[in-house]
Copies of this chain bind each other. A is one copy, B any other.
Amino acid sequence: MSGKENEIVKKIRRLSPGSRPGGSSWTAGMGDDAALWRPRAGHHTILTCDWFLEGTHFLRDKHPADAVGWKCLARAVSDIAAMGGETRCFLMSLALPESLAGKWLDAFLRGLRRASRELNCELAGGDTTRRDEVLINLTVIGEIVQGRAVLRSGARVGDGIYVSGTLGDADWGLRMLKQRRGMVRTTDSALRKHLYPRPRLELGQWLATKRFASAMMDLSDGLSTDLPRLCQASGVAATIDGNSLPVSRFAESDKDARKLALHGGDDYELLFTVHPKNEGRLPGKYQGLRLTRIGEITRGRQILLREGTRNTALWPGGWDPFRRT
């Protein structure tokens, strides 16, 4: 055998004990042409893929490699949570400079392995190549009992709109990170949600199993960008109550807090709608995580923001990679 690529693949494989053939549902893993996986009877397979690119999604001189490893998997897994599914495995495509194949790759794989364990998602295969910048693409495979997946298209007029946790912490963390010089520390608690987001897997599964959520998605690009996507898929509109938003405690003013909550991306909280007949049964918290009613689904096409007695149109102000900033 030969080649730097093979060495890197070996390192990745070694750090990922779950990817060995003969594991729970594997008959071939990394090192063959493809991975072979045994799906569960009575389940649908959930498939999602996500870019995580240096310069676009993270900065090599600011983001610790450990956090890059955690976050690339966590945010991809968030799409599984958004359907109410369980994680199974992932494929990793990695391109990196040869100079990062040592310490940087080791730290990256540490973060990735921790995410893999905590999120129950085994590395099943991948593709590795050399590139001047770090490019990552993950495909996550999940499963859900047939007929139980919560889509974006199920929201109906009159449904309440809910979000989990608080909104804006991750964007606030990004703002802090940009202000600091050099690499930030992995232990910086103000940056925790930006560096180490936690996909809401258990909550998503619970909402799907209890059939509380009529529609659901995860908040990756910010409420003002993501909510219109859910509304469009459902053919409805929405009114958001500006005073009810669960804002970040880090914000410097009420105005700032609201702006972060409406437009800040990268929170990976769940956005879901609940039929009025189920709203009374929905608790205010799930496993300590706040569930907040922030508005209701309406007829029409326009997303409105209600502040006191005043309604204004809410335009997307979140992250769009094709909008120049």
Contact = CB atoms under 8 A, between A and B. Distances in A.
B38 A1 contact: no
B44 A27 contact: yes
A143 B64 CA distance: 38
Contact of A44 (B38, B50, B144, B217): B38
Contacts of A3: 225, 316, 320, 322-323
- Count the copies: 2
Contacts of A98: 322
A91 B125 contact: no
A209 interface: no
Contacts of A217: 32-33
A2 B51 contact: no
B218 A31 contact: no
B53 A34 contact: no
A294 interface: no
Interface stretch (A182-190, A226-234, A285-293): A226-234
A163 interface: no
A95 interface: yes
A131 B95 CA distance: 15
A4 B323 contact: yes
A79 B28 CA distance: 13
Given A4-B322, A33-B79, A83-B33, A139 B47 contact: yes
Interface-centre pick from A43, A53, A124, A127 (highest chain B CB count, 10 A): A127
Interface of A: 1-8, 27-28, 31-39, 41, 43-51, 53, 56, 79-80, 82-83, 85, 89, 91-93, 95, 98, 101, 124-131, 135, 137, 139-142, 144, 146, 149, 151-153, 216-218, 225, 228-229, 232-233, 315-316, 320-323
27 contacts: A3-B320, A3-B322, A4-B320, A27-B44, A28-B83, A31-B233, A32-B217, A34-B48, A34-B80, A34-B85, A35-B47, A35-B48, A36-B46, A36-B149, A37-B45, A38-B44, A45-B45, A47-B91, A47-B139, A49-B93, A51-B93, A51-B127, A51-B137, A53-B131, A56-B95, A56-B130, A93-B137
